[in-house]
Amino acid sequence: MTPTLLWFRQDLRLQDNPALRAALERGGPVVPVFVLDDAAEGRWAPGGASRWWLHHALAALDAGLREKGSRLILARGDTATVLRALLAETRAGAVYWNRRYEPAAIARDTRLKADFLAAGLEAKSFNAALLHEPQTIANKQGGPFQVFTPYWRHCLTLPVTPPWKPAAAALPAPARWPKSVPLDALELLPRIPWAGGLQERWTPGEAGAAKRLRAFVSAAMDTYADRRNLPGVTGTSLLSPHLHFGEIGPRQIWAAVAATARESGVFPPSKGAGVFLSEVGWREFAHHLLYHFPHTPEQPLREDFARFPWADDPRGLKLRAWQRGRTGYPIVDAGMRELWHTGWMHNRVRMIVGSFLVKHLRLPWQQGAAWFWDTLVDVDLAANTLGWQWTAGCGADAAPYFRVFAPVLQGRKFDAEGDYVRRWVPELARLPVEFLHAPWEAPGDVLAAAGVRLGETYPQPIVDHAAARAEALAAFKKLRGADVIER
C-alpha cells in the first residue's frame, strides 16, 4: 500500500483524530506533516501569542509521534507546493486531513481537494473539531440559526459520536523519511523574550490538555455555574487554547462529562456540568455563524451597525491606554494586564473590557478583535468574531446594543474581595476594598496610606462613566431609539 500524507493543521493530537484513524485503516506508511503557510491565512495569520503556543504544540506533537515510531515533517511555504513535493518524494497515494471552517481555509481546501482528485489521488477530509458541523444544522426554515438557545436545544437532540482511541502502539513509518525543516526555522517564537508569563501559565500539547480536562471534571465542574464569573478564582476549565489548536476535541470533553454521569444515571450530572457543556455549545454556535456568514470577521452581521458613529481617536491614545491596562478603571486594567502577561483573560472580564472599548471609548469592535487576535493564546476566528459582535450588539444573539457594562459595578459584583484587581494592578493592592474598584472615590489620606497617587502611580479614569454612557446612548439612538441598561 502506498503511503498516506497526514496533513495536520488545528488538530494537533493523536487521540480522537479521524484523519489519523482513516490513514491507519487505509494501511501502509503514514507520513505526518505540518505546513506553516501564513500567506494562505490572509489577514488572519496567527498572532504573536498563538505562534508561541503553536511552536510548543508542534514540539509536543512530534514527541508524541516519536513515541510511536513516527515523526512530524515540518515545512514552510505555499501549502499546495509543499504537499505536491511531498507526494512526489514519498510516492504517497492519499492525502487526509481534518477540516477547518474559516472562509480562507474552506476556499483553499476546496481547491486542493479538487487538484488532488484530478491527479488521481485519494483526498479526504474529516471532522475533528466540532460535535456537529455547520452545514449539518438548520432551523425549521432550512436556514442557519442566529439565536443560541434554539440552536443548542436542537443540537442536544442529536447524537454525539464517541471519541476514537488509537489501539496501535506504533504508527507505520515510510522506508525513508522526507526532509523536514527544524522547528526553529518556522520562527514562531518571539524575538524579544516577552513570553515568560505564558510559559509559567500553560503547558501546550495533548498531554497538557488531557491533564486540564481531568482536573476540571474532578475538582471544578460541579461548581462551575457558581464560580465561572469570578475572575479571582480558578473556576473555569482553561481548555480554550487546547481546543483551538485541536490538542483535545469536543467529543472527548463530552465523553468525560458523560462518564461522570454513569453512577447517577443523569446527564448532565450537575448544574455546573450542564452550564459547562453549553459553553462548548457557544463554541459550536460561533463556527456555525462564521460558516454561514463569512463576512462577519470584518463587517457587522446587522448591516445597520455599519453606520455606527464611532468616536475619533486620531493619535490612538485611548486605544493604547486600553491595550496597556491604563484606563483608570481597575477591573478593566486588571483584565488587559492579565491578557498581556498570560495570553488569556477570564471570560467575564472579556465582556467588561470589550464593552468598555466599544461603549465607553466608542472605538470600533474590530480594533478590539485585532488586539485579541495578537495577544490571546486561545484566539479563534469564529469565537473572537462572535464575542466582539455580541459585545458591540451588532451580531447574532447579541447583547442588547444599548447595554453598557459599568466597570465599577462589575468589579464590585464579581471581584467583591478584590483578589483579581490586587493581583494584576498591584499599585492599588493596599487600598481598602470599598475603594479598590473606584480609587478616585477614596479620601486623600486613604490614598496616601495605600501609596496611591492618582495621575502618577495609577491613572485617573480616561473617561467619565456617566458622560460615556450618555454619549453611547446618543450614538445608539441614531440607529435605534432605546435607553441604556446598566449591568
Residue 206 appears among annotated catalytic residues: no
How much is the pLDDT for 484?
Answer: 46
Report pLDDT digits (tens) over 135-192. Answer: 999 999 999 999 999 999 999 999 999 999 987 788 999 999 999 999 999 999 998 8
- Residue range(s) of every CATH 1.10.579.10 domain in the chain: 303-486
Percent of the chain with pLDDT over 90: 87
What pLDDT, in 10s, does the model give residues 326-357?
999 999 999 999 999 999 999 999 999 999 99
In degrees, to the nearest 5, what angle opens at C-alpha 405 toward C-alphas 403 and 411?
Answer: 160
Compare 224 and 192 and report the one with higher pLDDT: 224
- Per-residue pLDDT band at 475 (split at 50, 70, 90): confident
Nearest C-alpha neighbor of 272 from the set 236, 234, 232: 236
User: Grid coordinates representing 366?
Assistant: 474590530
pLDDT in tens, 54-76: 999 999 999 999 999 999 999 99
**pLDDT the model gives residue 260:** 87
Spot the catalytic one: 282, 338, 441, 486.
282
Parts of the chain belonging to CATH 3.40.50.620: 4-128
**Cβ distance 226 to 81 under 8 Å?**
no
For residue 482, the model assigns a pLDDT of 47
Q: What is the secondary structure of 321-373 as a DSSP string?
A: HHHTT-SS-HHHHHHHHHHHHHS---HHHHHHHHHIIIIIS---HHHHHHHHH
Going by pLDDT thresholds of 50, 70 and 90, the confidence category of residue 250 is very high
* 229 a catalytic residue: no
Q: CATH 1.25.40.80 region(s) of the chain? A: 130-161+206-292
How far, in Å, CA of 370 to CA of 361, rounded?
A: 16
Is 272's pLDDT higher than 80? yes
Kindly indicate the confidence band of residue 487, based on its pLDDT and cuts at 50, 70 and 90. low
At 124, is the secondary structure helix, strand, or coil? strand
- Name the helix (H) or strand (E) containing 241: helix 240-244
The yes-or-no verdict on residue 265 having pLDDT over 80 is: no
Supply the pLDDT for residue 169: 81
**Could you give the residue ranges of the DSSP H alpha helices within 157-203?**
196-201
| pLDDT of the residue at 486 | 52
Q: What is the pLDDT of residue 400?
A: 66
282 noted as active-site residue: yes
Q: Is 373 a catalytic residue?
A: no
Cα gap 190→49, rounded to integer Å? 9
User: Which is the catalytic residue, given 164, 279, 427, 440?
Assistant: 279
Helices within 245-312 (DSSP H only): 250-259, 271-292
| Catalytic residue (one of 388, 390, 424, 471) | 388
Question: Which listed residue (7, 365, 390, 424) is catalytic?
Answer: 365
User: Does domain 4-128 sit in CATH 3.20.20.210?
Assistant: no
pLDDT band at 244 (very low <50, low <70, confident <90, very high): very high
- Torsional sign, CA 85, 86, 92, 96: negative
Decide if 254 is catalytic.
no
Q: Which helix (H) or strand (E) holds 171?
A: none
pLDDT tens, 35-61?
999 999 988 999 999 999 999 999 999
Q: 266: burial class by Cβ within 10 Å (0-12, 13-18, 19+)?
A: exposed
Residue of 415, 412, 406, 388 whose CA lies nearest to 487:
406
Residue 154 CB contacts under 8 Å (≥ 6 apart), including other chains: 137, 139, 145
What pLDDT shows up at residue 401? 63
- Give the pLDDT confidence of 91-120 residue by residue, as tens digits: 999 999 999 999 999 999 999 999 999 999
CATH topology of domain 303-486: DNA Cyclobutane Dipyrimidine Photolyase, subunit A; domain 3 (1.10.579)
Please provide residue 124's backbone torsions phi and psi, each rounded to the nearest 5 degrees: -130, 145
**What is the C-alpha end-to-end distance of the chain, expressed in Å?**
63
Q: Which residue has the cell 476540571?
A: 216
Confirm if 146 and 397 have CB atoms less than 8 A apart.
Answer: yes
User: Which of 71, 92, 100 minimizes the C-alpha distance to 23?
Assistant: 92
pLDDT in tens, 275-318: 999 999 999 999 999 999 999 999 999 988 898 999 999 999 99
CATH of 130-161+206-292, one of 3.40.309.10, 1.25.40.80, 3.30.70.580, 1.20.140.10: 1.25.40.80
> Tell me, what's the pLDDT at 399?
63
Of 152, 347, 427, 440, the catalytic one is 347
For the segment 371-376, the average pLDDT, to the nearest whole number, is: 97
Active site (annotated) includes residue 340? no
Mean pLDDT for all residues in the chain:
94
Dump pLDDT digits (tens) for 435-462.
999 999 999 999 999 999 999 999 999 9
Whether 485 shows a pLDDT value over 60: the answer reads no
H or E stretch covering 311: none
Would you say how long the chain is, in residues?
487
User: What are residue 458's DSSP bridge partners?
Assistant: 454
Say what the pLDDT of residue 298 is.
Answer: 95
**268: cis peptide before it, omega within 30°?**
yes
